[in-house]
Amino acid sequence: MNSRICETPGAQSRNTLETSANAMPSLGRLDFLGRMPVPVRRLFKAGLDRAVAKEAEQRAPLECCFLRGGEWYQPFDALAVARNVDDVPEMIVTTLQEDILSPRLLSFYKAGPNCADSSNYHPAFTSGELFDPTGTFRTFAAVPFVFLIDVQRLAGRPMPRIWSDLLQPRWHREIVFGGWRPNESVAYKDFNSYLLLSILQEFGVSGLLAFASNVHHLQHNVRTTTLFGTNSRHAATIAVLPWLHAEMCPRRDNTRVVWPEDGALAMPIGYLTKGERPTRVAPLIDFVRGPELARLLGRNCYPAAGADVHNPLPVNASFKWLGWEYIYTHDLAEESIRAARLFFSALNPSELRACA
């Protein structure tokens, strides 16, 4: 008997996605629900398929659902209405997102071994304190956000090296970061709220407003990568990008990737399980913690936490981020909306409907 892996198509309309989600088993019947950054989804799913197929030879089939397209919310948004532990999947894999960090949802998942043995992990992860001290969200990798610089556009100005440099008035309307909207006449439908919340947390309201005054516009990361280093009106002097997109910029003669000296902004990638020592999904845990996935992620600039595999991080690289104390003492959804409102009110008041 074969295990089943269902997929959400992601690139379709929300109505189609709702139909697709309705056709799937309820989330409580799933052994696995997962999403990863879009650039590594195909490769992640291939490894997941192998892990599921191997397990199917020995045990009852696993029921898995993994997002393969650009969709981020379906069927994860259904977790918000889960009433008890039987309404949620046995295992979840995701980047750190506000939709899985509610105290009620986290209460359905068990703490695992904490990460006290720092020798098992890359020092950037331990010094950056990316491991949940409660052991509930089990970090196995991270998305680093770095700077991409158009050297020619600097025009003699010093290259930004730390995050506070992005708040300096010399960069007025010269920064881009990730966001998307159908056209320039409507509000942004999606944007890097994690970046905005992180700036607000570290630099306060005045810092976020200073950053907003320096933003040229928001733009899909792939489009930024494609246009950066050109004379396009959509290009800029500085881009804040996931490390992979920064490294993919084809115009390397006049552009530089800068790993901030005070740490790349890190978004943890991890998993949650219902059992402290789960057996049914143990092969899937072995996969997400194993060397095969670690090598795959490392080659694509999503560094894995393990110290026992090749890790592409620069020498002395460090991370900075919101931190678990902040995560567990704040309503991330509410704080993200606050950060977005402050940012868009300074960037363009008409964009406020993007975060309504």
DSSP 143: E
How far is the C-alpha of 255 from the C-alpha of 141, rounded, in Å? 27
What is the model's pLDDT at position 55?
66
Q: Are residues 153 and 200 in the same domain?
A: yes
In a domain, 330, yes or no: no
As a whole number, mean pLDDT of residues 245-252 equals: 92
Q: Are residues 187 and 225 in the same domain?
A: yes
In a domain, 348, yes or no: yes
Q: Which residue has the tokens 């309504």?
A: 356
What is the model's pLDDT at position 26?
82
Q: Are residues 225 and 161 in the same domain?
A: yes
Q: Are residues 220 and 344 in the same domain?
A: yes
Point out which residues pair with 138 in neighbouring strands.
Answer: 271
Q: Which residue has the tokens 């059992």?
A: 275
In a domain, 217, yes or no: yes
DSSP 213: H
What is the model's pLDDT at position 125?
93
What is the model's pLDDT at position 170?
96
**Domain hosting residue 130, numbered range:** 4-143+267-322
What is the model's pLDDT at position 21?
39
In a domain, 292, yes or no: yes
- Residue 172's CATH number: 3.40.190.10
In a domain, 24, yes or no: yes
Q: Are residues 240 and 349 in the same domain?
A: yes
The tally of CA atoms less than 13 A away on the side-chain side of residue 67 is 26
Point out which residues pair with 338 in neighbouring strands.
Answer: none
Asked if the model's pLDDT at residue 9 lies above 50, the reply is no
Q: Are residues 170 and 242 in the same domain?
A: yes
Question: pLDDT (tens digit, 9 = 90+) per residue, 45-97?
Answer: 998 988 888 766 556 678 888 887 666 777 888 888 888 888 899 999 999 98
In a domain, 328, yes or no: no
Q: Are residues 249 and 310 in the same domain?
A: no
Q: Are residues 213 and 339 in the same domain?
A: yes
How far does CA 158 lie from the centroid of its chain?
29
Asked if the model's pLDDT at residue 266 lies above 70, the reply is yes
Question: pLDDT (tens digit, 9 = 90+) per residue, 10-51?
Answer: 433 222 233 243 444 488 889 899 999 989 989 999 989 888
Question: pLDDT (tens digit, 9 = 90+) per residue, 228-242?
Answer: 989 898 899 999 999
Handedness of CA 121, 126, 130, 135 (dihedral sign): positive
Q: Are residues 91 and 175 in the same domain?
A: no
The helix-helix angle for 291-299 and 41-56 (nearest 10°) equals: 170
Q: Give the total number of structural domains in the chain.
A: 2
